[in-house]
């Protein structure tokens, strides 16, 4: 069972978190990825809107908790629940695909990566996880997926405040 690490301490399970109320599950690419860091920056900006709606955030990553702690602190996300999934079993269970090397070696990827590095100042580093794993975002409320964003490309950027605006459909059993 995946257990949350928040600020270095172990907390609740992901299952308990999504059963309790609205949770935005953000599946990250490897932590050395410039687009993963771009995601953390975008998410940090959306946190006030998510908080206002009572939506908790769960970051799912493939690195060790120690490796993740540094990156999350760098982006001001150290108090957000994070779940390490190094074998990617949860990524697979949620239907998130892996890409081929050919898909990654595109001119567009290099262009977008360069822009994120230079214009937005997101550094790239050694992969901490599977570089072929695609990310995704799911808004889950009491175990029911309310909205999802499946990335077609590593550089896709969902609007996290759109998730805050989602109408939540409560299940009949509360």
The band of 8, judged by pLDDT with boundaries at 50, 70 and 90, is very low
Measured between alpha carbons, how far apart are the two ends of the chain, in Å? Answer: 23
pLDDT digits 0-9 by tens, 15-64: 888 888 899 999 998 887 788 788 999 999 999 999 999 999 999 999 98
What is the per-residue pLDDT for 170? 53
Distance, CA of 66 to CA of 77 (rounded, Å): 14
Q: Name the fold adopted by 3-160.
A: Glutaredoxin (3.40.30)
Distance, CA of 5 to CA of 2 (rounded, Å): 10
The band of 120, judged by pLDDT with boundaries at 50, 70 and 90, is low
Cβ count near 17 (within 10 Å) = 20
What is the per-residue pLDDT for 168? 65
Mean pLDDT of 6-14: 62
What is the per-residue pLDDT for 121? 63
Q: Average the pLDDT over each of 31-35, 138-142, 156-160 and give the range with the smallest value.
A: 31-35
Domain residue spans of the chain: 3-160
pLDDT exceeds 60 at position 3:
no
Partners of 138 in the β-ladder: 25, 148
Cβ count near 27 (within 10 Å) = 25
The structure's pTM equals 0.79
């Amino acid at each position: 069972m995946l257990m949350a690490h928040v600020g270095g301490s172990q907390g609740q399970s992901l299952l308990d978190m999504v059963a309790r109320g609205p949770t935005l599950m953000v599946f990250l690419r490897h932590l050395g990825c410039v687009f993963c860091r771009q995601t953390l920056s975008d998410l940090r900006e959306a946190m006030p809107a998510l908080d206002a709606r009572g939506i908790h955030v769960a970051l799912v990553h493939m690195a060790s908790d120690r490796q993740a702690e540094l990156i999350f602190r760098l982006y001001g996300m150290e108090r957000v629940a994070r779940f390490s999934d190094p074998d990617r079993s949860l990524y697979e269970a949620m239907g998130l695909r892996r890409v081929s090397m050919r898909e990654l070696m595109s001119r567009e990827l290099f262009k977008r990566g360069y822009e994120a590095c230079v214009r937005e100042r997101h550094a790239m580093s050694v992969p901490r996880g599977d570089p072929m794993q695609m990310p995704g975002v799911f808004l889950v409320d009491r175990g029911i997926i309310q909205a999802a964003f499946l990335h077609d490309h590593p550089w896709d950027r969902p609007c996290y405040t759109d998730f805050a605006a989602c109408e939540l459909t409560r299940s009949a059993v509360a």
